[in-house]
């Protein structure tokens, strides 16, 4: 089955044997729970990979095997697809721009929401959220018309703008809750020590929240990576990988469906793996 | 600035995006915007086998879901400026855009079937689209199903009642229903109701929508549903449940059954749709190609249209998509199994003594989708939700009358021609 | 201290950006909902509400969110607590927990269909265990509860990670001293969780709940894959009216309904989990 191993949780050691026994029992319990939760996440992904690495007959056959036969035809079909490399590059570029833009624009707004009381605050908060509450396929038409008229049509940047709009709630609200978690007293202390507001922010607040900011940037990346509708409408020559593959996936034969899903899922997994340190580096601060 | 490095890299990325942005439009890149041949292998076939031979420039074949397809086409029409060179879609998807397409009278369509050319006028005086390719709905069955055929039934001349009996035999023998219908969100269930059930039971599609015959028909459909696989509400393409042995007998259009025949040619057979009291109803699936008014280079687009109608291109299209030619061609012998199986069954279906062909709705404009929805709603309400048949048919008839009157569409086969909007009794 | 203008200056880029890329198109769509042939009218809303699927779509959407979101919250808090108490291997476990973040809803639909379909992995698994002789259909339209459970499972699998990340980030900001103090006073782990962690986690809880609920109202691809047409949802109906029925007025009305319930749920969470301390400058 999957490659997860039970992971041991360390516990503080006590002197008495009884406490030690209790601790051991708890350690095993934790390990068991963690294993179950990991399996819950990993098994479905494992099954996609099994299907992606099976022959068409095996994919629709019965009963299914839980081990792949390592047939690579279906995967090879996608990897050999003309334009996959370009589409991958486009996807990464759009997602990277989205990541940078959403933080550059969203984090200041998040700070404002966290630290100030001002008229229109809740209105702004709701406005930001509404970008996710409005069906994108309906927004796509007026956007596409405007893009064609303005010349943003079929550009990487134009698509990144739309994705930034979609990632904005994550950027603004997550950074806002991070800033809220930093006690105002810390900043105030810095001011009394002669720091300007900006200096205090850079020296005191930023180090505390930067891992969290990285996390919300990761969200932006993922939002952009998985978005398909706007990408399909607003780009023609500069297709993203998702628009390139995914939109035709649901009508493709079963074995190609899974191979395509695997091709889409794998880069996202690798990306998350690469940035996992940033996603959760905030562990250090809790121990300050 | 506090996030100095971030800002710098942002600028660098933006600069990169700007340079890599709108690719310098190569003069001869023609965008073929389509809803057909969406499965990745078919799209690949269109690009490599069909369009690579076009000498008037390179063609960018982009198959799309209905959503992005419609949105982009509308956006270009509204902005009065566009990149799409050629549009390819089903008849029903093109009707809403009649105004957006150039008149194609300049394209020689004399080799194409006159009935299909007429459809392409969309009820106007101008040629809004030219026929591109066609298919029809057929039945497909796993050979394992044949031993359960009811006594005396001929699979090539089946009736709806025999189909139900067959389904019951299979369900009894295997413990689960083995008939499948394409009643999923993207399944073509409306065409099954419009073009197969209604003509077979009422000799009509619109006029006798809520007749006594229609009531009897829906009762039969309920019986059929009892022996139909309950996953049918999720089936979009019947080839998948057939290949999975989840169902043994199914109806769908040829291109959506093809994979079954091609993957396991020895296990599946194709045969005509069943017949009812008023004949063997069937309906074509017609795809057309059109050129938007906003096409960047209309001459090149027209050249591509002419190329698509050439016999060799039509045969290559058949290989790639399992849609049949719209012009007279001699098919070579080495066609894929799906084409051979379907070809024989189509000949039986259209040549059957009780054949009762229907036409696709014309002149409905952008109400075509709502017209289809009446049949889908009626099906879902009567069969899935179990609502009273008369009540549902009354509602549907009122809706049909509103749509047909609003569009001013006269009757089409199998309904008798009408003066003015097609009446709903 | 720089004046009252500062918050507005900080907000300005985001506000301008949203005005251009969201408000402008959204207003255009909203206008379509209130017009038919250039006449102002409520006919689109009447049409939408009169359609036989509207009630089902509305209630399915709300019910799914009401079931899925609390379960996800509980699961995310549980996972978060487990990880905070771990030492070695914590990074790896956290990484595993967040994997579904990278998976689009369409891909998630494909994955869960592979598990739950008649010839799928679940039935195969039972067969290998000897608990099942031949494949059984699990996702049939008659089995409304089964479909609902399937969709809920897939949604919980796919979208719990987003809450987890927000909550874990928030947990990381809670100073350890509070927890240690509670421990000194002999509070049990559960007491510490309820009395210390949860109240301090309020801002993150609020964010996680608001975002997740709004996203839950937009569920579409997973339902389409698993339940087909048997489980109408607001988002699916919006698509159907926009693209199959090509009635943009009704589609826009649906969009406004989704917007409406999203705003309502947001207001509820804003009020319920308001932080007394947040308004400090």
Collapsing DSSP to helix, strand or coil, A9 comes out as coil
Here the CATH number for the domain that contains residue C44 is 1.10.3720.10
Supply the pLDDT for residue B257. 93
Residue A1 pLDDT greater than 50, yes or no: no
Segment among A84-88, A126-130, B50-54 with least mean pLDDT: A84-88
Supply the pLDDT for residue A182. 82
Q: Is B71 touching A (CB cutoff 8 A)?
A: yes
Q: Is C225 touching A (CB cutoff 8 A)?
A: yes
Residue B337 pLDDT greater than 90, yes or no: yes
Question: Which residues of chain C make contact with B229, given a CB cutoff of 8 A?
Answer: 137
Torsion of the alpha carbons at A136, A138, A139 and A142, rounded to the nearest 10: 150
Supply the pLDDT for residue B1. 36
Segment among A145-159, A273-287, B34-48, B332-346 with least mean pLDDT: A273-287
Supply the pLDDT for residue A99. 94
Q: Is A165 touching C (CB cutoff 8 A)?
A: yes
Q: With CA atoms as reference, report the closest residue to B142 among B41, B239, B35, B7.
A: B239
Q: What is the mean pLDDT of residues B351-356?
A: 91
Choice between A277 and C44, residue whose per-residue pLDDT is larger: C44
Shortest CB distance from C251 goes to which of A44, A118, A138?
Answer: A138
Supply the pLDDT for residue C170. 80
* Alpha-carbon distance C142 to nearest alpha carbon in chain A (angstroms): 24
pLDDT digits (tens, 9 = 90+) for B355-391: 998 888 877 888 888 899 999 999 999 998 899 999 9
Choice between B350 and A62, residue whose per-residue pLDDT is larger: B350
Label residue B122 by pLDDT band (50, 70, 90): confident
Q: With CA atoms as reference, report the closest residue to A240 among A259, A255, A221.
A: A221
Residue C278 pLDDT greater than 80, yes or no: no
The beta-carbon contacts of A92-96 under 8 Å, at least 24 apart in sequence, are: A93/A156, A93/A160, A93/B13, A93/B16, A93/B17, A93/B20, A94/A156, A94/A159, A94/A160, A94/A163, A94/A224, A94/A231, A94/A240, A95/A163, A95/A220, A95/A221, A95/A224, A95/A225, A96/A221, A96/B13
pLDDT digits (tens, 9 = 90+) for A213-229: 887 888 888 889 888 88
pLDDT digits (tens, 9 = 90+) for B155-206: 999 999 999 999 999 999 998 899 999 998 888 888 899 999 999 999 999 9
Most confident of A5-14, A58-67, A250-259, B73-82: B73-82
Supply the pLDDT for residue B9. 46
Label residue A255 by pLDDT band (50, 70, 90): confident
CA pair distance A114, A175, nearest whole angstrom: 9
Question: Which residues of chain C make contact with B366, given a CB cutoff of 8 A?
Answer: 246
Task: Please return the burial class of C81, using the count of CB atoms within 10 Å of its CB with bins 0-12, 13-18 and 19+.
Answer: middle
The residues facing B34 across adjacent strands are B63, B88
Question: Which residues of chain C make contact with B235, given a CB cutoff of 8 A?
Answer: 228
Q: How many helices (H) and strands (E) does chain A have?
A: 15, 0
Q: What is the domain class of A82-286 according to CATH? A: mainly alpha
Task: Give ipTM to 2 decimals.
Answer: 0.87
Question: Which residues of chain B make contact with A233, given a CB cutoff of 8 A?
Answer: 68, 71-72, 75
* Alpha-carbon distance C143 to nearest alpha carbon in chain A (angstroms): 23
Choice between B179 and C186, residue whose per-residue pLDDT is larger: B179
Supply the pLDDT for residue B366. 82
Contact B234 C226 (CB under 8 A): yes
Residue B51 pLDDT greater than 90, yes or no: yes
Label residue A276 by pLDDT band (50, 70, 90): confident
Residue A2 pLDDT greater than 70, yes or no: no
Q: What is the mean pLDDT of residues B331-359?
A: 90
Label residue A246 by pLDDT band (50, 70, 90): low
Supply the pLDDT for residue B21. 40
Collapsing DSSP to helix, strand or coil, A86 comes out as helix
pLDDT digits (tens, 9 = 90+) for B54-80: 998 899 999 988 889 999 999 999 999
Contact C14 A146 (CB under 8 A): no
Shortest CB distance from B369 goes to which of C135, C236, C246?
Answer: C246
Supply the pLDDT for residue B315. 95
Residue C5 pLDDT greater than 60, yes or no: yes
Query: What rounded mean pLDDT belongs to chain A?
Result: 84
Q: Is A96 touching B (CB cutoff 8 A)?
A: yes
Shortest CB distance from A184 goes to which of C15, C252, C280?
Answer: C280
Q: What is the mean pLDDT of residues B280-290?
A: 92
Shortest CB distance from B71 goes to which of A62, A141, A155?
Answer: A141
Helix H or strand E segment including B337: helix B337-351
Contact B369 C245 (CB under 8 A): yes
Supply the pLDDT for residue B247. 93
Q: What is the mean pLDDT of residues C194-218?
A: 90
- Residue found under tokens 């003069």: B27
Supply the pLDDT for residue A256. 84
Label residue A7 by pLDDT band (50, 70, 90): very low
Q: Domains of chain B (ranges plus CATH)?
A: 27-134+285-337 (3.40.190.10), 136-284+354-407 (3.40.190.10)
Supply the pLDDT for residue C276. 63
Nearest CA in chain C to A40: C157
Question: Which residues of chain C make contact with A205, given a CB cutoff of 8 A?
Answer: none
Residue B6 pLDDT greater than 70, yes or no: no
Residue B14 pLDDT greater than 90, yes or no: no
Supply the pLDDT for residue B166. 97
Supply the pLDDT for residue C120. 86
Against chain B, the chains showing at least 3 CB pairs within 8 Å are A, C
Residue B2 pLDDT greater than 80, yes or no: no
Number of domains observed in the structure of chain C: 1
Cα angle for residues B93, B99, B104 (degrees, 5° grid): 85
Cβ(B88)–Cβ(B309) below 8 Å: no
Kindly state the DSSP code that residue B33 receives in the 8-state scheme.
E
Q: Is A84 touching C (CB cutoff 8 A)?
A: no
Share of chain B above pLDDT 90, in %: 64
Could you tell me the residue ranges of all domains in chain A?
17-76, 82-286
Contact A282 C114 (CB under 8 A): no
Question: Of A78, A144, A152, which to mutate for an interface test with B (greatest number of B Cβ within 10 Å)?
Answer: A144
Residue A16 pLDDT greater than 90, yes or no: no
- Kind of pairing between the strands at B249-253 and B284-290: unpaired
- Residue found under tokens 């406490």: A19
- The tokens of A234 are what? 């607003």
Question: Of C116, C243, C251, which to mutate for an interface test with B (greatest number of B Cβ within 10 Å)?
Answer: C243
CA pair distance C168, A212, nearest whole angstrom: 10
Supply the pLDDT for residue A217. 86
Shortest CB distance from A47 goes to which of C11, C111, C135?
Answer: C111
Query: What rounded mean pLDDT belongs to chain B?
Result: 89
Residue A281 pLDDT greater than 60, yes or no: no
Question: Which residues of chain B make contact with A264, given a CB cutoff of 8 A?
Answer: none
Residue A4 pLDDT greater than 50, yes or no: no
In sequence order, the 6+-apart residues with CB closer than 8 A to the CB of A112 are: A118, C6, C7, C8, C10, C11
Supply the pLDDT for residue B52. 93
Q: Is B58 touching A (CB cutoff 8 A)?
A: no
Domain extent, residue C109, equals 27-272
Supply the pLDDT for residue C42. 92
Q: What is the mean pLDDT of residues B80-101?
A: 92
Q: How crowded is the C-beta side of B343, counted as CA atoms within 13 Å?
A: 15
CA pair distance C60, C219, nearest whole angstrom: 11
């Amino acid at each position: 089955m999957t490659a997860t191993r039970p992971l041991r949780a360390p516990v503080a050691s006590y002197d008495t044997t009884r406490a030690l026994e209790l601790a051991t029992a708890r350690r095993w319990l934790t390990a068991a729970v963690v294993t179950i939760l990991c399996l819950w996440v990993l098994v479905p992904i494992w099954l996609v990979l099994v299907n992606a690495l099976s022959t068409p007959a095996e994919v629709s056959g019965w009963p299914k095997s839980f081990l792949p036969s390592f047939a690579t035809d279906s995967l090879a079909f996608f990897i050999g697809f003309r334009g996959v490399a370009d589409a991958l590059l486009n996807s990464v570029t759009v997602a990277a721009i989205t990541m940078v833009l959403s933080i550059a624009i969203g984090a200041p707004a998040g700070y404002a929401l966290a630290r100030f009381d001002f008229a229109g605050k809740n209105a702004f908060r709701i406005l930001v959220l509404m970008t996710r509450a409005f069906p994108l396929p309906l927004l796509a038409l007026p956007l596409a018309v405007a893009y064609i008229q303005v010349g943003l049509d079929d550009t990487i940047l134009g698509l990144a703008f739309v994705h930034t709009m979609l990632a904005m709630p994550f950027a603004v609200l997550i950074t806002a809750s991070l800033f809220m978690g930093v006690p105002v007293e810390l900043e105030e202390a810095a001011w009394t020590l002669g720091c300007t507001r900006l200096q205090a922010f850079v020296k005191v607040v930023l180090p505390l929240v930067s891992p969290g900011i990285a996390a919300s940037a990761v969200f932006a990346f993922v939002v952009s990576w998985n978005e398909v509708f706007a990408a399909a409408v607003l780009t023609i020559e500069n297709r993203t990988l998702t628009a390139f593959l995914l939109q035709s996936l649901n009508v493709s034969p079963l074995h190609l469906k899974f191979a395509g899903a695997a091709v889409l899922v794998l880069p996202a997994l690798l990306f998350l793996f690469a940035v996992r340190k940033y996603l959760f580096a905030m562990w250090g601060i809790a121990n300050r | 600035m506090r996030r100095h490095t971030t800002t710098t890299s942002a600028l660098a990325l933006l600069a990169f995006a700007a340079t890599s942005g709108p690719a310098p439009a190569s003069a001869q890149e023609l965008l073929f915007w389509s809803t057909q041949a969406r499965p990745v292998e078919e799209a690949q076939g269109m690009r490599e086998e069909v369009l690579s031979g076009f000498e008037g420039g390179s063609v960018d074949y982009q198959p799309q879901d209905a959503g992005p397809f419609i949105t982009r086409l509308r956006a270009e029409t509204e902005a009065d400026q566009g990149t799409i060179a050629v549009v390819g879609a089903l008849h029903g998807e093109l009707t809403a855009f009649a105004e957006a397409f150039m008149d194609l009278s300049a394209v020689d369509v004399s080799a194409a079937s006159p009935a299909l050319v007429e459809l392409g006028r969309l009820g106007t005086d101008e040629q809004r689209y030219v026929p591109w390719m066609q298919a029809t709905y057929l039945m497909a069955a796993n050979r394992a199903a044949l031993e359960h055929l009811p006594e005396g039934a001929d699979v090539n001349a089946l009736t709806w009642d025999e189909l139900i009996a067959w389904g019951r035999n299979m369900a009894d023998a295997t413990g689960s229903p083995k008939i499948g219908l394409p009643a999923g969100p993207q399944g073509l269930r409306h065409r099954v109701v419009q073009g197969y059930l209604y003509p077979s039971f009422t000799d009509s599609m619109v006029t006798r929508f809520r007749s006594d015959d229609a009531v009897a028909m829906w009762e039969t459909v309920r019986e059929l549903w009892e022996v139909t696989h309950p996953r049918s509400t999720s089936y979009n393409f019947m080839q998948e449940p057939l290949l999975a042995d989840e169902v043994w007998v199914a109806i769908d259009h040829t291109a959506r059954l093809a994979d079954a025949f091609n993957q396991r040619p020895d296990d599946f057979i194709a045969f005509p749709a069943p017949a009812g009291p008023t004949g063997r109803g069937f309906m074509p699936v017609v795809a057309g190609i059109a050129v938007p008014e906003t096409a960047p280079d209309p001459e090149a687009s027209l050249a591509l249209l002419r190329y698509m109608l050439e016999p060799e291109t039509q045969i290559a299209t058949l290989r790639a998509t399992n849609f049949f030619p719209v012009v007279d061609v001699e098919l070579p012998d080495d066609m894929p199994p799906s084409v051979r199986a379907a070809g024989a069954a189509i000949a039986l279906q259209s040549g059957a003594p009780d054949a009762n062909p229907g036409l696709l709705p014309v002149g409905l404009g952008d109400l075509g989708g709502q017209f289809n929805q009446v049949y889908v709603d009626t099906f879902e309400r009567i069969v899935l939700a179990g609502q009273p048949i008369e009540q549902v048919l009354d509602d549907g008839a009122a809706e049909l009358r509103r749509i047909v009157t609003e569009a001013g569409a006269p009757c089409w086969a199998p309904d008798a021609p009408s003066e003015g909007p097609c009446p709903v009794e | 201290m720089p004046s009252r203008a500062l918050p507005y200056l900080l907000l300005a880029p985001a506000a301008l950006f949203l005005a251009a890329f969201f408000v402008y198109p959204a207003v255009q769509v909203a206008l379509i909902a209130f017009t038919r042939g250039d006449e102002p009218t409520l006919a689109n809303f009447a049409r939408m509400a009169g359609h036989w699927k509207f009630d089902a779509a509305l209630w399915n959407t709300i019910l799914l969110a009401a079931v899925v979101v609390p379960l996800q919250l509980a699961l995310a808090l549980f996972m978060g607590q487990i990880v905070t108490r771990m030492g070695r291997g914590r990074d790896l476990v956290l990484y595993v927990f967040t994997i579904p973040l990278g998976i689009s809803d369409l891909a998630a639909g494909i994955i869960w269909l592979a598990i739950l379909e008649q010839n799928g992995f679940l039935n195969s698994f039972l067969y290998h265990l000897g608990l099942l002789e031949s494949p059984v259909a699990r996702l049939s339209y008659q089995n409304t509860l089964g479909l609902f459970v399937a969709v809920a499972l897939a949604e919980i699998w796919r979208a719990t990670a987003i809450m987890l990340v927000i909550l874990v980030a928030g947990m990381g900001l809670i100073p350890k001293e509070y927890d240690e103090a509670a421990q000194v006073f002999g509070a049990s782990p559960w007491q510490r969780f309820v009395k210390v962690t949860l109240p301090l986690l309020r801002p993150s809880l609020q964010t996680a709940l608001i975002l997740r609920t709004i996203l839950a109202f937009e569920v579409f691809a997973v339902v389409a894959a698993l339940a087909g047409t048997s489980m109408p949802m607001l988002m699916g109906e919006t698509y159907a009216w926009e693209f199959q029925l090509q009635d943009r007025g009704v589609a826009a009305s649906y969009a406004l309904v989704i917007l409406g319930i999203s705003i309502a749920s947001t207001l509820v969470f804003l009020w319920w989990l308001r932080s007394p301390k947040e308004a400090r400058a």
